[in-house]
Amino acid sequence: MPDAVCPRGSRAHGGGLLLLLAGLSSCALATNYDDPDGPRYSAEFAPPLDATAALAPEELDVCSFNIEDAEHITEAIGQLSADENLSRCSVLLLQEMDWPGALRIAEALGLDVVFYPGSIHHGKDFGEAVLSKWPIVADKKLILPHRNPTNGRVRIAVSATLDMPLSPLTAYSVHSDTPWLGLSDRLDQAEAVAIDAASMDGRVVVGGDFNTSDPGSVEATVERFTSRSFTWATRDVPPSAHSPIGAETIDHVFVKALSVEAAGSPPTEASDHQPIWVKLGLLPVP
């Protein structure tokens, strides 16, 4: 969902007068959480793994879901619980969350959770979460470079290393800035995540809302990851976000040391983004 737009003459396009009028009352700078160590929230709801579940899985199901402003949590829980593909996900990456929403989803699905906010938006915390059926043994907030030119808001990614059998899995939940930042700066954000993720040992999943709605941004963002030995797992998934200008391909998942078996994106009533899911096979860890 776009940040509020403050008037800047250099960014006026068609309909600029409407943007100017809309922005006159929304020019306050965002309140950011600039400390990379917090605030941090976590909870454990995943049941202990029995001997069978503790064996290395043959497949790994991962979901990513931008739940617009954490508004429709009940509807999101219903879909994540009932959908044939979403309900199998053992790793869930959430964007545009607050802690009460992330906590409710983790408890309802029986998953461990870590959440970091990057800023305050619409009067509540605004950030990303990683949920897992495996224990979270390490986590961090990655503050992405550049701030939104309209209000100074920072964007973040949250990573969590999961104690998956045989080899750890590190999962990233990402929310890049909107096109108001400009393509070059937004690619810097994607590259910061790609560099950090490429440095991790074991298997890696990176997913979330990369806001790649402007021409050329999908290809350029994908290249930041594929040039570092990641696979674009959601290449064949139809556009998963909807705006006044139509359907947009802005939610993506990238993986390392994992093969892509299937992927999809069911419709939803819980957000302006559809959830995306990927079914992955385990490849040898480099």
pLDDT in tens, 192-204: 999 999 999 999 9
The per-residue b/e assignment along 13-32, b for 16 or more CB within 10 angstroms, e otherwise, is: eeeeeebeeebeeeeeebeb
* Spatial CB neighbours of 103, under 8 Å, sequence gap ≥ 6: 41, 43, 113, 115
Mean pLDDT within 278-284: 94
Query: In terms of Cα–Cα distance, which of 142, 277, 273, 130 is closest to 211?
Result: 273
> Where residue 55 falls among pLDDT bands split at 50, 70, 90?
low
What is the residue extent of each domain of the chain? Answer: 31-282
Each residue of 57-105: pLDDT tens digit?
778 999 999 999 999 999 999 999 999 999 999 999 999 999 999 999 9
Sheet architecture: strand order including 136-143: 136-143, 156-162, 169-175, 203-209, 251-256, 231-232
Beta bridge partners, 173, equal 158, 207
What is the per-residue DSSP string for 64-81?
Answer: EEE-GGG--HHHHHHHHH
Beta strand 59-66 with 91-97 is: parallel
Token pair listed for 110? 């029986």
The confidence score (pLDDT) of residue 51 equals: 57
Q: Dump pLDDT digits (tens) for 240-249.
A: 998 777 789 9
pLDDT-derived band at 19 (thresholds 50, 70, 90) equals very low
- The CATH number of 31-282 is 3.60.10.10
Q: Give 263's Cβ-side CA count (13 Å radius).
A: 26
Mean pLDDT of the chain, nearest integer: 89
User: Which whole number is the average pLDDT over 158-164?
Assistant: 97
Contacts of 284 (CB under 8 A, 6+ apart): 257
The two tokens of residue 103 are: 């906590």
